Amino acid sequence: MERFDVEKVSNKILNELLQYRRRFPESEHSLQYEEEKVSAVQLPRIHAFVQQGKPVECILPAFPTKSPNPRKVLGKMPDMAEKLSLIFLNSLCQRIQLYYPPGANIVICSDGHVFSDLIHVDDETITHYQLEIEKLLQELGATHLSVFNLGNVESLTQYTSDYDQLRELLVSRYASSIEAIKETLKESEEGVQLYRAITRFLYEDSLLPEYTGSKNALQKDARQRAVGVIQRSWAWGNLLAEQFPLAIRLSIHPQAVDSIKIGIHMMPTRDDWLTPWHGVAANVNGQFVLMKSDEVKKMNGKLIEIRGVPSHYLIEKRVEDPLAEETRSVDNPQTEFQATTIQAE
């Protein structure tokens, strides 16, 4: 077996991840402080793989399904935003392999079926989306990536193949109660920010062009569903910890610095909560950035199709900083969801 400087290689792998770490927008700590705390958690876990000369195994709960709101996305199926994100993840593993030959692999733990009923997307659409993600991986030759979803959990599917029943089994075996989830969220600023972010996503996803009801009613509904989404998401995380006990746990959300999870960006964006399935890829000055569809339209973005299918946008006007104009509503401290509290509804 080839010998490595275990400490040096482990630190280098960690630094690869830290380059793309998602931070909480309102963090009070310095970047150096945060990275020292993250390192204290993640370095020993990476070290364990390198010490044994094994590929670094990572899991990433992600790529659930597209947002149902056309104001945010181009359609129901993966597009350039997903494609670029998958290329990034595979390239991350390839870069690690350049100096650590055993390399790294990422299991995409697609969680759409985990909370499809709560996000108002049917299971058939989610299955189609997941199959398209797998097809993309094959087309890209992304050999460092694989997919795992609720239908692959043999300890659950031995009883049923019905997704409603699988979700019930997941919650009964791996979830805390809604009341306990609320209390946990209230205990930290990170928990409150997560709740607000999920509430905002659900509100935006439900604010469809044809919606004629009140925004207050929509916000109340989003707040109620947000706790359920978090409950299911954490239950999925508990199941994954059982399925992949040693894996480095990547996340699409910002995480507390002492968390076992580390949030990572897959595309440049100003919004630390935005994901490819809640946005679109926009080519600005030759650089792809992640934005919401409506934001791109305000900048007169030109829709680009590939083989007749909407893929991404091209913004032809010169933009000084392609990341400066987007997500103003998200960055604005007065946005309606900054004041959202966790309620006992």
Answer yes or no: is 101 within a domain. yes
Q: Has residue 26 got a pLDDT over 80?
A: no
Counting every residue, how long is the chain?
A: 345
Identify whether 147 is part of a domain. yes
Tell whether 329 is covered by a domain: no
129 part of a folded domain: yes
26-37: burial string, b at 16+ Cβ within 10 Å, e else: ebeeeeeebbee
Residue 138 CA to residue 140 CA, distance in Å, equals 5
Cβ atoms within 10 Å, residue 235: 21
Q: To 10 degrees, what angle do helices 178-186 and 215-243 make?
A: 100
Q: Is the pLDDT of residue 335 over 80?
A: no
Residue pair 95/303 in contact (Cβ under 8 Å)? The answer is no
Question: Is residue 1 domain-resident?
Answer: no
Domain count, the chain: 1
For the residues 160-166, what does the mean pLDDT come to? 97
- When pLDDT is cut at 50, 70 and 90, the band that residue 212 belongs to is confident
pTM as predicted: 0.89
* Helix, coil or strand: residue 170: helix
Which has the minimum average pLDDT: 106-110, 136-140, 292-296?
A: 292-296
Three-state DSSP class for residue 90: helix
Residue with tokens 């595979």: 90
pLDDT band at residue 237 using 50, 70 and 90 as cut-offs:
very high
Residue 244 lies in a domain: yes
Asked if residue 166 is part of any domain, the answer here is yes
The yes-or-no verdict on residue 340 having pLDDT over 60 is no
Bridge-partner residues for 323, per DSSP? none
Under the banding of pLDDT at 50, 70 and 90, the label for residue 319 is low
The pLDDT of residue 322: 58
What is the domain extent for residue 246? 6-315
Give me the pLDDT at residue 344, please.
Answer: 45
SS3 48: helix
Whose tokens are 């597209």? That residue is 66
Mean pLDDT of the chain: 91
Q: For 327, left (φ over 0), alpha (ψ -120 to 50), or beta?
A: left
In-domain check, residue 77: yes
Q: Residue 244: how many CB atoms within 10 A of its CB?
A: 16
Which pLDDT score is estimated for 321? 60
Q: How confident is the model at residue 106 (pLDDT cuts 50, 70, 90)?
A: very high
DSSP letter at 30 equals -
